[in-house]
Structure 1
Amino acid sequence: MTEPTTVVMTPLDAGQWLIERARTFATAAHAAIDQRRKYTDDPYIVHPQRVAERVASVPHTPDMIAAAWLHDVVEDTAVTIEEIQREFGDDVAVLVAGLTDVSRLEDGNRKVRKAIDHAHSAQQSPACKTVKLADLIDNSITIRRYGKGFARIFMDEMAISLPGLKEGDPTLYAEACAIVEHWQTRPRHAKAPASDGDVGAQ
């Protein structure tokens, strides 16, 4: 009688499996509510995909890539942080919680709510801040093209948030700072720049 074979995952296999599960989970969660991107009406998952790709371009862990895929599911869908914890473990859940806005409408106007969310982001780990930087960069690249009047609001908020994210990946932090500086020093009559992306911030 042949003995059953035990399959042992290497750390690399386990990491890839985690990322693939996160991708599948996030895709289904956003699709379940037919969430689309503003301005382009693309399936929402294109944004988490680009965030994950940007995080993967700098030093990272599988947990960070998984969190990049999942970073908006608690904020935007019916998924809870407890579900993320059950499905992906404590480390990923902590990252996703750190990437989820904590302010509520009853907290006050947009300026007050964003101050609460910026303070929340500033308290997170360098790993979480790295994913947040990738998120901001992806949104900022295209909102300057598609957001029109909202671009000024978003870019001002991004500038305010960056000092609290400086412990994130230095390459992404420098890229984010350069985007803000370029925006702040642009000629007032300049048209919004062309973009390699296709969605605006939510």
Structure 2
Amino acid sequence: MRNLVSRAKEFAFAAHNAIEQRRKYTGEPYTVHLESVAMLVASVVDDEAMIAAAYLHDTVEDTDVTLADIENNFGCDVAYLVRYLSDISRPEDGNRAQRKHLDREHVARGDARVHTIKLADLIDNSATIQAYDPRFAKVYMQEKRLLLDDLDDGHPELLCRARAIVDEWLAESTGQ
């Protein structure tokens, strides 16, 4: 029987490829992002559920896959992680700031494992946004600065990397 991580990777890749999802700025297959997040997580932990959830972290948010599908295929623990990694806000919840506030509160309710995966996601997304959309990066990096306050119990190595990325960008963008 294939291990949990291999099954999650295959499942996530199939779900994102089925909708032909591409990365916004690079046009690369979206699976490049999933692989990067999972590898960042795997670089600091050997927890199979966390690595599996890293592959699946955007699946419910971006595809037709439901949390029930995740639980049926990967169990309660992985479903718990994916639940708290998935944004809950909708356009009708208000402006971007209001929606991001709801999403921050939601991810904050997750445990340290959720926060570690979210840090890996932040690290990977920040590099792409900074490189390809400096104008949007001004908004995005401010949002991530706020998010970091809720991810304090994530893995210390990823927390340190994420803080450095956010702090360096904010210092450079404000000339401080």
TM-score with structure 1 length normalisation? 0.84
1:82 aligns with 2:68: yes
Rounded Cα–Cα distance in structure 2 between residues aligned with 1:97 and 1:169: 19
Q: Given residue 99 of structure 2, which amino acid in structure 1 is its aligned partner?
A: R
Note the C-alpha offset of 1:148: 2.5
Note the C-alpha offset of 1:141: 1.4
1:105 aligns with 2:105: no
SS in 1 for 2:165: helix
Q: Given residue 40 of structure 1, which amino acid in structure 2 is its aligned partner?
A: T
Q: Given residue 61 of structure 2, which amino acid in structure 1 is its aligned partner?
A: E
Partner of residue 58, structure 1: 44
SS in 1 for 2:80: helix
Partner of residue 135, structure 2: 149
Match of 1:93 among 79, 83, 93: 79
Shift in CA distance, 94/187, structure 1 to aligned 2, threshold 3 Å:
closer
Rounded Cα–Cα distance in structure 1 between residues aligned with 2:35 and 2:11: 12
Rounded Cα–Cα distance in structure 1 between residues aligned with 2:46 and 2:160: 17
Equivalent residues, number: 175
Q: Which has the higher helix share?
A: 2
Match of 2:3 among 11, 17, 28: 17
Match of 2:121 among 132, 135, 139: 135
Note the C-alpha offset of 1:45: 0.5
Match of 2:57 among 45, 55, 71: 71
Q: Given residue 75 of structure 1, which amino acid in structure 2 is its aligned partner?
A: E
Match of 2:147 among 131, 147, 161: 161
Q: Which one scores higher on RCO, CA 8 angstroms, separation ≥ 6?
A: 1
SS in 2 for 1:86: helix
Root mean square deviation of aligned Cα: 1.3
Q: Given residue 113 of structure 2, which amino acid in structure 1 is its aligned partner?
A: A
Shift in CA distance, 44/187, structure 1 to aligned 2, threshold 3 Å:
closer
Runs of 4+, deviation exceeding 4 Å: none
Rounded Cα–Cα distance in structure 2 between residues aligned with 1:187 and 1:165: 23
Question: Structure 1, residues 20-74: CA drift from partner, whole Å, max 9, x if none?
Answer: 0000000100011110101111110100100000001102400000000000000
SS in 1 for 2:73: helix
Question: Which sections of structure 1, spanning at least 5 residues, go unmatched?
Answer: 1-13, 190-202
Note the C-alpha offset of 1:89: 0.2
* Contact kept in structure 1, 2:25 and 2:128, CA below 8 Å: no
Note the C-alpha offset of 1:188: 5.1
